[in-house]
Amino acid sequence: EVQLAESGGGLVQPGRSLRLSCTISGFTFGDYAMTWVRQAPGKGLEWVSFIRSKAYGGTTEYAASVKGRFTISGDDSKTIAYLQMNSLKTEDTAMYYCGAALTTPGGVFDIWGQGTMVTVSS
Amino acid sequence: DIVMTQSPDSQAVSLGERATINCKSSQSVLYSSNNKNYLAWYQQKPGQPPKLLIYWASTRESGVPDRFSGSGSGTDFTLTISSLQAEDVAVYYCQQYYGIPFTFGPGTKVDIK
């Protein structure tokens, strides 16, 4: 069964770092495009980051609000996708979801995890 | 960046009645080389991740009930729920994937009247 499961969220002080993990079941990282999307409490969805599949070069994209601070990657075992978040700001407080495009075009995500909450506060 | 807007912000519809949600993009998301609209619709229920309903503006995702349909082209799109069921209470988002950054609309909340 294809599944995604996020972990690594928590309470962190402004300026600190956090690494989110998205554990993949049923497929291999790199075979499909993946994304991170976040949702601040009571707000709408905000796209954060995207990585193309290996077949499309595995290149990455970022929202302007996180570019230079966040990095999307995968591990060598190809079962985990990461979102490394540095220089965190209070406005990064949100539920973070990872998604994958298994049967859909690269910018459309048909598989999602349940999310992990990140709270940035002193 | 392509800005997505949605209307209405919320609506209450009687069970069995039609719900219509509009989405507008600040520039066309129709790619002329393949004549496809790079527009998707998601449903999100409280405490859950988004669920893909429709992509290419009108292609229903596998397993999505046929009471959900998408239409439109260029900059104006519509999601229609032909006969609202109790389980359709949710927030609905449109998303463009024509360009980076991918952008979502602000969402439309659908409730039962």
Write the CA distances from A60 to A17, A51, A112, B40, B113, integer angstroms: 20, 4, 19, 21, 44
- The DSSP call for residue B88 is G
Output the pLDDT for position B89: 98
Output the pLDDT for position A75: 85
Q: How confident is the model at residue A78 (pLDDT cuts 50, 70, 90)?
A: confident
Cα-trace Rg, chain A:
13
Mean pLDDT of A90-101: 98
Write the CA distances from B45 to B41, B51, B55, B89, integer angstroms: 14, 9, 19, 7
Give the list of residues 6+ apart from residue A82 with CB closer than 8 angstroms, or none: A19, A20, A21, A22, A71, A72, A73, A74, A75
Which of B102, B103, B109 would you mutate first to test chain A, the one with the most A CBs within 10 A? Answer: B102
Residues β-bridged to residue A50: A35, A61
Choose among A32, A16, A8: nearest CA to A97.
A8
Q: How confident is the model at residue A76 (pLDDT cuts 50, 70, 90)?
A: confident
Residue A86 neighbours by CB distance under 10 Å: 14
User: How far, in Å, CA of A43 to CA of A46, rounded?
Assistant: 9
User: How far, in Å, CA of A5 to CA of A60, rounded?
Assistant: 21
Mean pLDDT of A38-46: 98
B56/A contact by beta carbon, under 8 A: yes
Per the prediction, chain A carries an average pLDDT of: 96
Q: How far is A101 from chain B (nearest CA, A)?
A: 10
- % of chain A with per-residue pLDDT over 90: 94
The SS3 of residue A32 is coil
Q: Are B84 and B19 in contact (CB under 8 A)?
A: yes
Q: Do B40 and A103 touch (CB under 8 A)?
A: no
Give the list of residues 6+ apart from residue B71 with CB closer than 8 angstroms, or none: B57, B58, B77, B78, B80
Output the pLDDT for position A106: 86
Cis ω for the linkage preceding B8 (within 30 of 0)? yes
Q: Provide, as residue numbers in chain B, all residues whose Cβ is less than 8 Å from the Cβ of A52.
A: none
Q: How far is B85 from chain A (nearest CA, A)?
A: 22
Q: Provide, as residue numbers in chain B, all residues whose Cβ is less than 8 Å from the Cβ of A113.
A: 49
Q: How many CB pairs under 8 A join A and B?
A: 61
User: How far, in Å, CA of B81 to CA of B109, rounded?
Assistant: 13
B41/A contact by beta carbon, under 8 A: no
Q: How confident is chain B (113 residues) per 10-residue block, as mean pLDDT? A: 98 98 98 97 98 98 98 98 98 98 98 98
